[in-house]
Chain A
Amino acid sequence: MAFLEISHVSKGYGPPEQRAEVLADLNLAIEEGEFVAIVGYSGAGKTTLMSLLAGLVAPDCGTVKLAGREMQGPGPDRGLVFQNYSLLPWLTVFENVKLAVDQVFADRPEAERIAHTEKFIGMVNLTRARDQRPAELSGGMRQRVSVARTLAMRPKVLLLDEPLSALDALTRATLQDEIARIWQESRTTVVLVTNDPDEAILLADRVVPLTRGPNATLAPGIPIPLARPRDRRLINENPEFKQLRNQVVESLLSAGVKPKTTLTRDLILPDIEPEDISKPWSYFNRRGPLRKGEKREESVEVAP
């Protein structure tokens, strides 16, 4: 029995007649302490998948199980680091983290909670920015606060939803190393969603490609046997790394080819009836010209 298990999960949005299936028949099993990266195109449904794992949205069918129990709604046992940081702008760094700590460890004494908060702010190297508000911080620092807030809840699973996609390349590299270090220290189960194959290979034990949406699904996972800690400077030269990257990209590209779908839509054809001059004209009895709407149906083949 895997620690985190997704079985036959599907999710779509919109009203029944024009429903867009985002995810179809997802299956994934993650072991405790494993670092899994899900790589996919933007718009493939990565954030939807994360929301499912976090419990923010419920799957249409299928189940998500954590430690053998089906999950009901969101909770602090699955710590989600949001793509856009989602810090509360009226609270300082300390208060943002403390809010989570207060909530999760409500039974501990106040002094212990403060110490706990300080510890996690220190873990992401933000002790000096402790009393600043998010607006005064750079993007990288904000994301670190978000990571600290999530880690401080001591979640069973850490869900990283494209945590670095809004950052510049240099900051991203620093934070990738920091995530790797934190994972080495804490060894919690991590699910990272990203659109960068290199980032996935650098950090994860296993890379799972998500095929192109709609009806995205997970391709078979690719284990990453590279030794840790992985050095980003050497890894680019590593033939094994190159081969793995090819494998991931190949999997993403081949999965992108899908059968064409058919779109059916109603058309209203411009059909005008000529004016009948013989009839007398009045406001209530218009003699025309009239526009006769006629519904026709049209089917078009579209590439996914």
Chain B
Amino acid sequence: MSNSTLPTILTAQPAETGKPAAGTPAAAPLPPPAGRTTRDWSRLVKLDWLLLPAVGLAAVVVMWFILSATLSKDLPNPTRTWESSKPYVVEPFSYRGELDQGILRFTWLSLVLVAKGYVIALALGTPLGFLLGLSKMMTKMLDPIIQILRPVSPLAWLPLGMVLFLGAGKQASELAALFTIAICAMWPTVLNTAVGVRAIPQDYLNVAKVLKLSRWKTLTKVMIPATLPYMFTGFRLSLGIAWLVIVAAEMLTGRPGIGGFLWQQYNALVYEQIILCILTIGIVGFILDRLMSVVERRFKTA
């Protein structure tokens, strides 16, 4: 009781002074109840970042239970999903065979493939973006093609990739997957870089002109730093797409990885692990996005 008096006084005072304007409830003028309600409420506020998502999650799990019990009898319910997924989650790095590995091992394989494709996408996309941003002629020439290619689904690119690398033999499926990831993930980087280059303030370019910086120095000392925030927004979006594409690429090529595992378990009629895969893909995607946004914020110059 003794340590609760101080906060009561502190919180009661603003409630009294703020009464006429804020239209507080009738109980507000009495100090003790007003103080208590504010305190309870503020304690709830502190917890709501944890509590509210937990409530949301619980609601979804309940819905899942109900759905699997009523409408869709083939859908495994949460407990069954957990029991059947347990060996994959508890031993995430185990290797029992080419298409039977721990879930993090599969994730790792997918991540490696995504990383390769993503690097290719950035290596192609950034210079292309600069080209588009710098030259009006290039924009006019290439923009229609980009706008047409951009909405094409990874499922459509993959067969073309297979055809392209038909001669590569055993490597064909990996090359096709890389091709698909790169060409799908490239566009946000291209477009954001182009916008960033166009948005460089004229003042910075004037500084470069007055200092008579060479073309190379203007590019490295002024244009690239000025475009970095835009570029990183593009990079983040590109990474999201690259991760999105991986499932499709692995499904169609049958490579071991999180997407390949998903497709194989579907064909083997083990539906529990499909849900496990979906959750893993979602969580990994979320983590990647968070990481990139941390990096992105680091490069936000005022």
Residues of A within 8 A of B213 (CB): 103
For B302, give the chain A residue with the smallest CB separation. Answer: A135
Of the A-B pairs whose beta carbons lie under 8 Å apart in the complex, a sample of 26, sorted by A's number, is A54-B210, A56-B209, A73-B209, A74-B209, A74-B212, A75-B210, A78-B210, A80-B206, A80-B210, A82-B203, A82-B206, A82-B207, A84-B203, A86-B204, A86-B206, A86-B207, A88-B221, A88-B225, A89-B301, A90-B228, A99-B211, A99-B221, A103-B211, A103-B217, A135-B301, A135-B302
Check A100 for interface membership: any CB of B closer than 8 A. yes
Q: Give every chain A residue within 8 A of B212 (Cβ-Cβ).
A: 74-76, 103
Q: Known contacts being A100-B211, A103-B212, is A86 close to B301, with CB within 8 Å?
A: no
Shortest distance from the beta carbon of A150 to any chain B beta carbon, whole Å: 8
Cβ of A153: which chain B residues have Cβ within 8 Å of it?
211
Nearest CB in chain A to that of B211: its residue = A103
Give bound CA distance, A80 to B212, whole Å: 12
Taken together as a complex, chains A and B put the C-alpha atoms of A113 and B211 apart, in Å, by 16
Report if A133 contacts B (CB, 8 A).
yes
Q: Contact check: which of B203, B228, B302 meets A86 at CB < 8 Å?
A: B203
Closest partner residue, chain B, to A91 (CB atom)? B225
Q: Given the complex, which residues of B lie within 8 Å of A104, measured CB to CB?
A: 211
B302 to chain A, nearest CB (A): 3
Spell out A's residues near B (CB within 8 Å): 54, 56, 73-76, 78-80, 82, 84, 86, 88-90, 99-100, 103-104, 133-135, 153
**How far in angstroms is the closest Cβ of chain A from B224?**
10
Question: Beyond A76-B211, A89-B301, A135-B302, is A56–B206 a contact (Cβ under 8 Å)?
Answer: yes
Interface centre among B207, B210, B222 (most CB of A within 10 A): B210
Overall SS of chain A's interface: loop
- Of A54, A90, A135, chain B has the most CB atoms within 10 Å of the CB of A90
Minimal beta-carbon separation of A93 from chain B (angstroms): 14
Per the bound structure, the CA–CA distance linking A172 and B292 in Å amounts to: 43
Task: Encode B126-165 as 1/0 by CB contact (under 8 A) with A.
Answer: 0000000000000000000000000000000000000000
List the A side residues contacting B217 at CB < 8 Å.
103
A79 / chain B contacts, CB cutoff of 8 Å? 210
Are A90 and B203 in contact (CB-based, < 8 A)? no
Extra inter-chain contacts (12) besides given A74-B206, A133-B302, CB under 8 Å: A56-B209, A74-B210, A76-B212, A82-B203, A86-B204, A88-B207, A88-B221, A89-B302, A90-B225, A90-B228, A100-B211, A135-B302
Query: Which residues on B sit within 8 Å (CB–CB) of A74?
Result: 206, 209-210, 212
The residues of B that contact A80 with a CB separation of less than 8 Å are: 206, 210
Whether B207 and A56, one on each chain, are in contact in the complex, defined by CB atoms closer than 8 angstroms, is no
Q: Which are the 4 A-B pairs with shortest beta-carbon distances?
A: A135-B302, A86-B203, A90-B301, A90-B225
Alpha-carbon gap, A212 to B203, bound state (A):
25
List A contacts of B207 (CB < 8 A).
Answer: 82, 86, 88
Per DSSP, chain B at the interface is: helix
- Chain A residue with minimal CB distance to B299? A90
Q: With the chains together, A104 CA to B212 CA distance in Å?
A: 9
What's the Cα separation between A266 and B100 when bound, in Å? 77
A88–B211 contact, CB under 8 A? no
- Give the distance in Å from the alpha carbon of A86 to the alpha carbon of B209 in the complex: 12
Of residues 269 through 302 on chain B, the ones whose CB sits less than 8 Å from some CB of chain A are 301-302
Task: Fill in one digit per residue for B211-241: 1 if any A CB lies within 8 Å of its CB, else 0.
Answer: 1110001000110011010000000000000
Report the bound CA distance from A216 to B209 in whole Å: 26
Q: Report the minimum CB–CB distance from B219 to chain A (whole Å).
A: 14
Q: Chain A residues with Cβ under 8 A from B302's Cβ?
A: 89, 133-135
Contacts of A90 in B (CB 8 A): 225-226, 228, 301
Q: Give the CA-CA distance A75 to B211 in the complex, in Å.
A: 6
B222 x A88 contact (CB < 8 A): yes
Query: Which B residues touch A56, using CB under 8 A?
Result: 206, 209-210
0/1 interface trace, chain B 196-212, chain A, CB 8 Å (1 if under): 00000001101101111
In Å, the complex CA distance between A80 and B209 comes to 11
In the bound assembly, the distance between CA atoms of A196 and B301 in angstroms comes to 33
A67 CB, min distance to chain B CBs, angstroms = 18
* Chain A: minimal CB distance from B295 (Å): 15
Mark each residue of chain B from 170 to 182: 1 if its CB lies under 8 Å from any CB of chain A, else 0: 0000000000000
Question: Is there contact, CB below 8 Å, between B210 and A76?
Answer: yes
Q: Once bound together, how far apart are the Cα atoms of A80 and B210, in whole Å? A: 7
